[in-house]
Structure 1
Amino acid sequence: MSNPILWKLAHGLCVTSYACMFVASFIAFAGTDIGLKEGFNTSIYIHAAPWGAAAVAMIGTISSAALFAKLSELDDPNQNETTEKRHLKRQTTAVIGVAFSLCLIIADIIIASALANASTMVRHNSTTPLNADWYMVVVSAIITGARIIMDLCKLIEWSKEMHGVHSLLEDVERNDEIDEPYRD
């Protein structure tokens, strides 16, 4: 996981998938809106499911982009902070991001279920936008799950990195203690 390109790619794909889900939700809403005007779809549930998907997609897009930006900023070693302070901020941000991403996956599962139920309530010719939205919800959930795994790997890498820094500092301190009697 020391390759930052894969980690950044996973975050970028997550942002992109939620943005695409947002677009698919509005297309599904337009499709169900046309169906409601023509009298095919009588349930408001069918009309509301894409709105729920759009809300989750908007929250997912914004939060994924913010998490990616913050973690990229904190992963930059050129900042004027102590290593321990930067490490604590990175870990805290990543843990909060993983927890929020798990909530997004739960919301994706709920929305996917709602979209699947809504698509069974409409005539066959008007299910395509709902099905496309459902596929984007599933893809977003899978990519978010992959990003969570990569973030957890990055957390482990950062912990090992911090452990290495502490071990090095302990060795330096131990060597200074050994050398002190000979300095007189």
Structure 2
Amino acid sequence: MRLPKLQISVAITALLGLCSMGTFCVLPDANNGAPPDPSFSCADSEPPAADEAGLFFSDPGGGARPLAADAVLQLEYGPQGGQHVMVTVRHHTSSDGVWAYRLAFQPEAAEPGTPAPEAPRMPVLEGSNTVPVNACASGWTETTAPVFINIMDSGLADTAGEIPKARGLLRLVATPREAGEKASAEVRVQIAM
């Protein structure tokens, strides 16, 4: 009779020991340094006018304002060597449903010609992510999500030690799960290293 109780107490002691060493138990730690999961919220405001976009990248400081062309997005580094930029999207739909957002950053093509020897080399980045989004019923859905970035060439620092910002096009293609028309948006941005 004492043997099973002994085995249980040894097992519990072993689990507690592993947990205290951090090798077995996983405790919540603000997403463990990984990029945050996408967040979604419904926003109250008028539908877009006939000449206004119903899908656009929005300014993180004010959801109803579109992200300005050439806005600077900060590259964030994860603990496992990955990197991402956070973007906010505003989308007006006439009904609820699940949409797939395909986000991408495409680098600007290099200008023809050879740069001067003292000019710093521009960084070359590209990135993407696909996010499922639960659209709000007949209204605006605001989504914040990461775009995972790959660095192909980090560029050269200038004389002040600064690496130039990577320039490119941030694109979004939104596709409803049910048959329907795709929507898309794009804006030129810079990514600061």
Give TM-score, length-normalised by structure 1.
0.24
Give TM-score, length-normalised by structure 2.
0.24
